[in-house]
Structure 1
């Protein structure tokens, strides 16, 4: 059967937008939002906006930020993205202490639990490692570091990158439905890596992964979300699929037409209350889905769908910490030039999560004036506190289209494929 050509990849470059991202300090000392090239940080302890220090000068990023994360100890923070720059910040001084140049656009990043290594992945499927020379000094100036290639997914966009809880394994997920578990070398710059397992079972791109802690399992269990509208639980040592939770039929979509494509894809997930609950964000859902993770029986099950009354709020990123019962969410997009807007972000918080609340009956959305940090936080992270509903609805649609274009593999006819081979950039350069 002849493949149907899909030309949207060549014509829809105007929807190359990046979703807003949110990351919370492990002890909830601070919270960061990235939208477009803008990185915004708020100090929750001092109740004030954070001023970033970078000797390269603003703007700190010159293109959309695609990944942000704190280290497990909260001493380091990473921001990276389409400008091929990885910035490593000290959260003590919020000074950029290491500046790493990537050969390609960066799609994911992670910090080892001991804080000695930073790994990042590019859109060509290569994972790089940076040795932090035995530690970090929050008062030292920016230093240029060189990354060393560690492993590759062979030209498949890497969508998520996580270290296991004990730091023994590096887990990488890609748009070709794969999750790879790699034994992380003690000296990754000089030693070879070994593949521990592959977690295979998703039928569409893997969009996000997270670890669930367990006293009997030091490395933790893995949870993954995908464009196939499922959340799956894995044993990473063997690569065994322990359980699959179908969430597509639990999602109340805005329109029946949105069932087409990847519009019910899982976009973000995070574990809450030491992994007893898992919060899941889904495209087109005005809220989140809460799952119960029963590690004793190796099962995932839907507990509750928590809706948000504002129809314009469809979370693009979730984050939480182990120290409090708050779940932080953001929706937004890097740019909507056709509507005259850029760097749109809207932050919300849910409360009522605790270890004993397995039914999530007390979970609710916190009013804006009761959010930690209040209006000062919203003004910093959102760039203001007023919103245009039409603009945010358009932003949600733009994120769907961009995610589909980026992560859904396109099919071409034989003629179209041959034409693309003949006109590749590397062939042009040789001529």
Structure 2
């Protein structure tokens, strides 16, 4: 009993996540193992129905997202389950079991394939051919697509044209891989590597326009930068040091606050990128000049309350930016209460001056879906401000433990090598074999 309680206490906090339907028909929030969806088109709470025959999520959900056309939704996480939902009926059409915990998901632009990454650096693909949305897909299994050699994959994105899949990892790498015609046979052609970050890459997003339909890649990192890339050659176009430019310093100026970029979100039909930073109480808006291939800060939106440090961002064609803050597995508090949703309007405008002047944090009663939506996505319980600050600190610690590689002295490294479990097993097997076959010489 004591061991179980200690395990519960030491479980890592998981950030609240948000995802928005491309046409803003619905909004989904996950916190811990709880998946909450609100139907904006019908102005009602969605009741999820699992027809896949698999279990519901039993552990923290680490990735949620809608497909490009909004017909599919995927949730996955620490319980090693990948659940694929039809958004027309909100039925789970299949549950795929992963060998390891899942860290990222992506849906191909044609909605025929779902890809997911695990903690061992392998990206898997699930074939959805034959899906009609009304019947479950039985016994769908994942096939290995590509791998990052035992490095945790943090983000997956398909390019706007669907030609490549981009994967980022803990070891500072961004890999651009040609998505094959037969992905179940594996992806063997690497287009490029995007190499410049000096800490783990935490998030990816694509920016595109009528003049640049192939899109440019934007990446965020633990090195406090957002970088702009041309992916065909892996060329770095520009770097925006958001940590420094946001003035994230301690009150006495003695040391820098942790300023990891935790989430990126591009706003449809604009060249704006919304950025969530681990110590910023609000969000930063970057403007990208696609012709000049540069990034610059347009505005910092910080009038959201002292405790609102976003953990996830989402947007739709409606031009609204949806944000959530919160965490699960926070020792001593109820998971269901630790999420809060806010929305920013005024982003889908014709010029940068309008963005700076017209950006507004909506009051709760002006958010699409209003109080009914907030009651579903946040929960009913009012929470003190300090609890959300505590949640932000817990998420910061969890991300650090997960993504920042531990450094060991040479002596400790040798000790760890000698005491590895696989080496112990190998030694035991060798000893047993020697006993069975004694040396007669």
Q: Structures share a fold, TM > 0.5?
A: yes
Query: Shift of residue 180 of structure 1?
Result: 0.3
- Provide the residue aligned with 1:330 in structure 2: 324
For residue 210 of structure 1, the aligned residue among 205, 210, 222 is 205
Counterparts of 2:230 and 2:407, CA distance in 1: 33
Give the 3-state SS of the residue equivalent to 1:146 in structure 2.
coil
- Provide the residue aligned with 2:275 in structure 1: 280
- On the 8 A contact 2:131/2:137 being kept in 1, the answer is no
- On the 8 A contact 1:275/1:293 being kept in 2, the answer is no
- Provide the residue aligned with 1:53 in structure 2: 49
Unaligned runs of 5+ in 2: 1-6, 429-441
Task: State whether structure 2 residue 159 is matched by structure 1 residue 164.
Answer: yes
- On the 8 A contact 1:55/1:142 being kept in 2, the answer is no
Compared CA separation, residues 258 and 97, structure 1 to 2 (3 A): farther
- On the 8 A contact 1:273/1:355 being kept in 2, the answer is no
Query: Shift of residue 66 of structure 1?
Result: 0.5
For residue 367 of structure 1, the aligned residue among 363, 368, 371 is 363
Give the 3-state SS of the residue equivalent to 2:208 in structure 1.
strand
Query: Shift of residue 336 of structure 1?
Result: 1.0
Task: State whether structure 2 residue 316 is matched by structure 1 residue 321.
Answer: yes
Counterparts of 2:322 and 2:249, CA distance in 1: 23
For residue 178 of structure 1, the aligned residue among 170, 173, 183 is 173
Query: How big is each residue's C-alpha offset from its partner over 1:237-266, in whole Å with a ceiling of 9 and x where there is no partner?
Result: 010001111111232548458996882010
Compared CA separation, residues 175 and 191, structure 1 to 2 (3 A): closer
Counterparts of 2:46 and 2:172, CA distance in 1: 38
Give the 3-state SS of the residue equivalent to 2:387 in structure 1.
helix
Higher-RCO chain (CA-CA 8 Å, sequence separation at least 6): 1
- On the 8 A contact 1:293/1:301 being kept in 2, the answer is yes
The structure having more radius of gyration, on CA atoms, is 2
Give the 3-state SS of the residue equivalent to 1:136 in structure 2.
coil
Q: How many residues align?
A: 418
TM-score between the two structures when normalised by the length of structure 2:
0.90
Compared CA separation, residues 304 and 168, structure 1 to 2 (3 A): same
- On the 8 A contact 2:63/2:76 being kept in 1, the answer is yes
Give the 3-state SS of the residue equivalent to 2:274 in structure 1.
strand
Which residues of 2 match residues 25-424 of structure 1 at below 5 A? Answer: 25-55=21-51, 60-133=56-129, 135-141=130-136, 143-190=138-185, 192-253=187-248, 255-256=250-251, 263-322=258-317, 324-337=318-331, 339-343=332-336, 344-359=338-353, 360=355, 361-384=357-380, 386-424=382-420
Query: Shift of residue 15 of structure 1?
Result: 5.5
- On the 8 A contact 1:30/1:43 being kept in 2, the answer is yes
Counterparts of 2:257 and 2:314, CA distance in 1: 23
Instruction: Please give the root-mean-square deviation of Cα atoms over the aligned residues, in Å.
Output: 2.2
Compared CA separation, residues 115 and 257, structure 1 to 2 (3 A): farther
Compared CA separation, residues 357 and 231, structure 1 to 2 (3 A): same
Query: Shift of residue 233 of structure 1?
Result: 0.6
Counterparts of 1:51 and 1:286, CA distance in 2: 33
- On the 8 A contact 2:320/2:345 being kept in 1, the answer is yes
Query: How big is each residue's C-alpha offset from its partner over 1:114-173, in whole Å with a ceiling of 9 and x where there is no partner?
Result: 11111100011111111112x522211352311111111001110000000111000000
Give the 3-state SS of the residue equivalent to 1:402 in structure 2.
helix
Higher strand share: 1
Counterparts of 1:14 and 1:363, CA distance in 2: 40
- On the 8 A contact 1:254/1:284 being kept in 2, the answer is no
